[in-house]
Amino acid sequence: MPQPSVRAYVGLGANLGDSAATLRQVLAQLQATPGITGVTSSPFYRSAPVDATGPDFINAVAAVDTVLAPLALLDVLQALENEHGRLRPYRNAPRTLDLDLLLHGDTRLDDARLILPHPRLHLRAFVLLPLRDLAPGLAVQGQPLDAWIDAIHDQPIERIAP
């Protein structure tokens, strides 16, 4: 019997190289990944680094329908990061690609490799605004996205592409 598909949300970001081109390529790669279908992207946003230095980030969120378990999907995301030259010389270093599994259906997970829902997604404008573009009725930690967005109005972010 086939596995049921789950809607997952993936945060995409980059601030080294041609970030927008990298995100477009990764979206196509996700669509071509076995076990992932129906990839939909939010518009792209430009945001200043949070708790980090370096150039502005280009960010988006992708909604994917997947039969992959959370850790299997994480493995796919980390392989894509590595393929695009992601280095981790220190915490919050500038990066060619950053992919974060934000939500995987209703899964709650506290694993050494992955916490779901993502523990900081409600604190970041670069996640909340694109996530709202894809799922305006979504609630996180029992609150609608707009309530979280109201709380982070001081984080500069600009929508740059449809």
Q: Which residues are annotated as catalytic?
A: 86, 95, 98, 100
Q: Rounded to the nearest 5 degrees, what angle is found at the Cα of 151, between the Cα atoms of 145 and 155?
A: 100
Report whether 98 contacts 59 (CB < 8 A). Answer: no
Q: In DSSP terms, which residues pair with 12 in a beta bridge?
A: 60, 99
Q: In angstroms, rounded to a whole number, what is the distance separating the alpha carbons of residues 98 and 127? A: 12
Report whether 76 contacts 68 (CB < 8 A). Answer: yes
